[in-house]
Structure 1
Amino acid sequence: MPLYFRCIWLLLLVLIGCTEPTPAPAPRPTTPTPVPTAPANSVSYLALGDSYTIGQSVPASDRWGVQLAQLAQAEGLQTPDIIAQTGWTTGELQQAIRAANVQKTYGLVSLMIGVNNQYRGLPLDTYRTEFRQLLQTAVQFAGGRPRRVFVLSIPDWSQTPAGRSYPQARISQEIDQFNAVAREECSKVTVEFVDVTDLTRSASSAPAQFAPDGLHYSGLHMGQWANRALPVVRLLLK
């Protein structure tokens, strides 16, 4: 092969040998799937009580505690855990709490109990003792913070359609006595007391204020309880 062609051939071999391979495209970084987290100001909520707290005869969304959580979304209030059942007295609520064996603490706790003590004719002194114990339990659930606990008063069920066949004057008087005890016990431990009894008395002529059973309250009416409790809750959560 002539020298001229040999030089060209050798030059091509050198050029081919020095060419860098084309790098493979870098893999795209994968974005991890975000894990849902509670808002920074999320506040857990426990509601203790009886038929009024569990919302007897109405959808779960109409319960006053659930409505309260919706109203206090800006404060981060969560939909409540509930320990409540129709017919419970203070003593039965105590037993249910022990049976539930809840180990967590909450950012807010509500208590609404006593109507069945009055209905069954149980002694006022017994109510005072057991209500005081329930307040202590509620404060423990709130991490030892009484300013994260509030109590709703006992409604006057004698003013309901189903209650009008009962001795209304006597029932109203007894409801006032039970509520006076609850208010007094709350003041001793700096727990807020929210009075909704007057709302239940003013609803006596409005059918839309009551549940289908004529004894309990509709979501429309319990919304009034939630609205009355809302400013108190906002102060407690500051």
Structure 2
Amino acid sequence: MKALFTFTLALLACCSSQQNDVMTTDPITTRHTFTFLSLGDSYTIGESVPEADRWSVQLAKMLRNEGVDVAAPEIIARTGWTTDELQTAIKASNNQKTYSLVSLLIGVNNQYRGQTLETYRTEFRELLQTATRYAGGNAGRVFILSIPDWGVSPFAQGRDRRKIAAEIDAFNAVAQEEAAKLNIAYIDITTTSRTAAGDPSQIASDGLHFSGQQYRQWAEQALPVVKTLLAK
């Protein structure tokens, strides 16, 4: 049990596997009408799932299947990142490009490490400003996914799952409030993530993160919202 605990902490802290490349770029060499930047942590980089199963990659494919010419997402994300670590990595990337669409999903590690809501609010607000800048100053091309509930995973066995859920809800309330101030779209995938409880098919092989099947549901939820954003 101690070995398992150490292993899973390492997953949350910062893995060094190929799944955790800081940035992936569009492998398609042709130009697209729309470009897409996806910012986040393990849930965006897709810890323990193939690249094709990442939620943002699935979303881009769904959009193309519906005739929306969007490139595969560029990604800045790594397992274990908090809001401040994501912001630091963005600055270090020196990425000066602008994108048609920008997503942000961050905060689970703030909750896991016991950081305050006040700190999260300040740093999340700064990330929203960064995301908007990447969208060419157009907040209407930015969207947020809520923090999923890792308390439904096998890793959380023996922990206070109600407390985890309540804390995640509190962090999400902050994110939703800050997004609303800037009229940024907010998509609640937390409720969807909780359907993974007791369903191994929705959990990744590491017993902590979600599977491509769960990520597909997030992409399906985001699809109509993103189509509306890109139509503006």
Which TM-score bucket, shorter chain as reference?
0.7 to 0.9
Counterpart in the other structure of 1:70: 61
Q: Encode CA deviations 1:43-65: one digit per residue, 9 max, x unaligned.
A: 10000000000000000010000
TM normalised by structure 2 equals 0.85
Aligned length: 201
Partners of 2:142 and 2:30 lie apart in 1 by 25
2:146 counterpart of 1:150? no
Q: Note the C-alpha offset of 1:164.
A: 2.4
Aligned-residue CA RMSD (Å): 0.9
Tell me the amino acid that sits aligned with residue 199 of structure 1.
T
Alignment of 1:86-101 (within 5 A): 86-101=79-94
Once superposed, which parts of structure 1, at least 4 consecutive aligned residues long, lie more than 3 Å away? none
Q: Note the C-alpha offset of 1:203.
A: 1.3
- Unmatched segments (≥5 aa) in structure 2: 1-28
Q: Matched residue of 1:75: which SS?
A: coil
Partners of 1:78 and 1:228 lie apart in 2 by 19
2:47 counterpart of 1:56? yes
Alignment of 1:77-88 (within 5 A): 77-88=70-81
Partners of 1:53 and 1:117 lie apart in 2 by 16
TM normalised by structure 1 equals 0.83
Partners of 1:147 and 1:216 lie apart in 2 by 30
Tell me the amino acid that sits aligned with residue 190 of structure 1.
N
Partners of 2:217 and 2:70 lie apart in 1 by 18
2:95 counterpart of 1:102? yes
Partners of 1:72 and 1:172 lie apart in 2 by 31
Q: Encode CA deviations 1:174-232: one digit per residue, 9 max, x unaligned.
A: 00000000000000001000000001111102100010001001111100000000000
Counterpart in the other structure of 2:229: 236
Q: Note the C-alpha offset of 1:165.
A: 2.2
Identical counterparts, % of pairs: 57
* Residue of 186, 197, 200 corresponding to 2:193: 200
Larger of the two Rg values belongs to structure: 1
- Unmatched segments (≥5 aa) in structure 1: 1-35
